Structure 1
Amino acid sequence: MLARCIQSISDITYREINLQRGQFIFLTRICESPGVNLIELSNILKVDKATTTKVVQKLMKEDYVLRERYESDKRGWHLYPSAKAQEIYPYIIQEENRNIETCFTGLSLEEQDTVYQLLKRMCKNIDQHWKAVKHHKDESL
């Protein structure tokens, strides 16, 4: 429910800067990891490469993402945030922080820390499961 609410709020908030459903997540990760490739970005976000490719193409069309070919392998691409992306990145982070603060409203610092620690553990658990499922899926192809 939290993820869906935040996603919905973000989709409405980012319409004014021409970011469509969920694109802000891809854009923030590219800003935080300049030079990342499609496979690395897919793994960071736990999505398939086809989804990443589609989103990145749309971000490139909106002039948010630039790509450069690998020197060693002409099939690969490095992804970089454009000047336009770097300009809106602080705004996106500010909005993300506002959503986090809203979620933590009324919780003590101790409760906030507990939530953080539990979520961190949950992320580690699901990441291991995701890797196992993905590995099994890749083997069956």
Structure 2
Amino acid sequence: MAEILRPIGGISRALDAIANREFQRVALTKGQYLYLARVAEHPGIILERLAELLRVDRTSAARAVQKLTQAGLLEKRADDENKKIKRLFVTAQGEQIYPLVKRENDYSNGIALQGFSEAEANQLAKYLQRVDQNVAASWDAVKHGEQRHY
């Protein structure tokens, strides 16, 4: 069977390290750019859904959101219908930083796809979406207490 997880992991770690370094100048610490970007892309998202999108546990997501809220980049607002539900939004300060996060993502995506034709890039995106769906299903099962049998 082809080994795909090591290269994917290496790519992920390299791009994460680059982004963390790039975003130091706007006071985003390790991995915070991911949370800011997802909230900007999904205004009003709830914490549980944000954690699912990023494939992290709820506690890690809550900690990151709390830090971004304290930094003035995100805010929590009560849901219009159910005041117990807190929805997440990017603040005006966060909106100023998000375009930098988006530009970095677009640039890194372009670097990663250098030498690929548009058709190849689209095919690779489709394959990676399938891989993501496969892994997401397993992640969700393990998150809910199931044990994988090797």
TM-score (norm 1): 0.90
Segments of structure 2 that go 5 or more residues without pairing to the other structure are 1-9
Q: Determine whether 1:96 maps to 2:105.
A: yes
> RMSD value over aligned CA atoms?
1.4
Look up the match of 2:136: 127
Look up the match of 1:50: 59
C-alpha distance in structure 2 between counterparts of 1:72 and 1:91, whole Å: 34
Look up the match of 2:3: none
What aligned pairs does 1:44-83 form with structure 2 within 5 A after superposition? Answer: 44-83=53-92
Q: How many residues align?
A: 137
Q: Which moved more, 1:36-45 or 1:9-18?
A: 36-45
SS of 1:84's equivalent? helix
Q: Determine whether 1:6 maps to 2:19.
A: no
SS of 2:144's equivalent? helix
TM-score (norm 2): 0.85
Q: Quick one: which amino acid aligns to residue 78 of structure 1?
A: R
SS of 1:63's equivalent? coil
**Deviations, residues 113-133 of structure 1 (Å, cap 9, x unaligned):** 221111011011111111111
Look up the match of 2:40: 31
C-alpha distance in structure 2 between counterparts of 1:131 and 1:124, whole Å: 10
Q: Quick one: which amino acid aligns to residue 104 of structure 2?
A: E
Q: Quick one: which amino acid aligns to residue 120 of structure 1?
A: Q
Q: For residue 72 of structure 1, report the CA deviation from its aligned partner.
A: 4.8
Q: Which moved more, 1:96-105 or 1:66-75?
A: 66-75
More helix by share: 1
Percent of aligned positions that are identical:
27
Q: For residue 22 of structure 1, report the CA deviation from its aligned partner.
A: 0.5
Q: Which moved more, 1:118-127 or 1:65-74?
A: 65-74
